[in-house]
């Protein structure tokens, strides 16, 4: 679904990514773990074209994103759902308007026949929040905002979903609801996902594989059980 090869990214003399590699296969969830400030968000911004890496290549569904023109990049973006760190809903728009926003921008994806209302309602129903459709984000709890943001990320029926800290700032019960929802989405839509998280419970439940980002590189990869059993100190630090 996706291949990152040897990307590097520096800000001034600060080398954040230093030859990072990642592959995502169809239908799998890959969790990326790394310390705060290690470059996880930078990596994901490079993936969606919000930032350009200094070198290296990124292929999404066999297309090298550096060679795409604006239209092809826009089309490719409809295949990728992005759940930003925080929920990043538009505060001045209702839940309905938040979900309509990507539909309006990319309406050509579904042709003319699509019923916008039906898509919005279906997306909200999937996250159990149809009853919030006319509310403002400020009227929702943190966990509900996160679920609406997930509904918005799903509305274009992406093949790949990128989650940046989907459970941060939530209590353990709400965090578990989000994790269950992520699994449900994976089953329902056969999506592949990259999930950035510090949350070890989330990583265990949601991942087929884990990649550890340490010192700007993909330091280790494996299943939760494989990595947890490692006696490498840098790997162990994540599982303590
Ligand atoms: N636009 C930018 N300009 C300059 N430096 C930046 C920029 N974006 C990120 N950085 C730096 O790159 C480093 C990695 O940032 P990044 O946001 O990717 O960390 P992270 O791994 O996502 O951390 P966290 O777990 O706290 O979210 C940080 O030192 C940050 O200050
Ligand atoms: Mg981050």
Please write the tens of the pLDDT for every residue from 174-220: 899 889 999 998 998 899 999 999 889 899 999 999 999 999 999 99
Tell me if 87 sits within 8 A of 145, measured CB to CB. Answer: yes
Q: Is the CB of 42 under 6 A from ligand 1?
A: yes
Owner of token pair 């280790």: 220
On the question of pLDDT at 3 being above 90, the answer is yes
Q: What is the pLDDT of residue 115?
A: 84
Q: What is the pLDDT of residue 87?
A: 65
Q: Is the CB of 216 under 6 A from ligand 1?
A: no
Q: Is the CB of 41 under 6 A from ligand 1?
A: yes
Report the C-alpha gap between 6 and 181 in whole angstroms: 32
CATH 3.40.50.300 fits 28-41+68-239, yes or no: yes
Segment 129-140 shows an average pLDDT of 96
Q: Which residue has the higher pLDDT, 78 or 226?
A: 226
Name which of 175, 131, 166 is nearest 139 in CA terms: 131
CA dihedral 137, 173, 151, 211 (to 10 degrees): 120
Probe ligand 1: pick from 15, 40, 86, max atoms within 8 Å of CB?
40
Q: Whose CA is nearest to atom 28 of ligand 1?
A: 37
Q: Is the CB of 16 under 6 A from ligand 1?
A: yes
């Amino acid at each position: 679904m996706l291949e990152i090869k040897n990307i590097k990214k520096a800000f001034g003399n600060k080398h954040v990514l230093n030859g990072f590699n990642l592959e995502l296969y169809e239908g799998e969830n890959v969790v990326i773990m790394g310390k705060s400030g290690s470059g996880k968000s930078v990596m994901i911004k490079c993936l969606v074209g919000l930032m350009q890496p200094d070198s290296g290549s990124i292929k999404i569904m066999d297309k090298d994103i550096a060679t795409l023109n604006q239209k092809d990049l826009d089309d490719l973006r409809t295949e990728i759902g992005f759940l930003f760190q925080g929920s990043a809903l538009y505060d001045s728009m209702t839940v309905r308007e938040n979900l309509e926003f990507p539909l309006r921008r990319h309406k050509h994806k579904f042709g003319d026949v699509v019923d916008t209302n039906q898509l919005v309602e279906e997306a909200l129903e999937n996250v159990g929040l149809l009853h919030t459709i006319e509310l403002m984000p400020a009227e929702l709890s943190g966990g509900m905002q996160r679920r609406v943001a997930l509904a918005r990320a799903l509305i274009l029926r992406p093949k790949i979903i990128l989650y940046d800290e989907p459970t941060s700032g939530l209590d353990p019960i709400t965090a578990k609801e989000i994790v269950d929802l992520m699994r449900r989405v994976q089953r329902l839509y056969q999506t592949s996902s990259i999930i950035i998280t510090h949350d070890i419970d989330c990583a265990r439940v949601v991942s087929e594989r884990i990649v550890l980002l340490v010192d700007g590189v993909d330091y280790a990869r494996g299943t939760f059980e494989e990595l947890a059993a490692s006696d490498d100190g840098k790997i162990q630090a994540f599982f303590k």
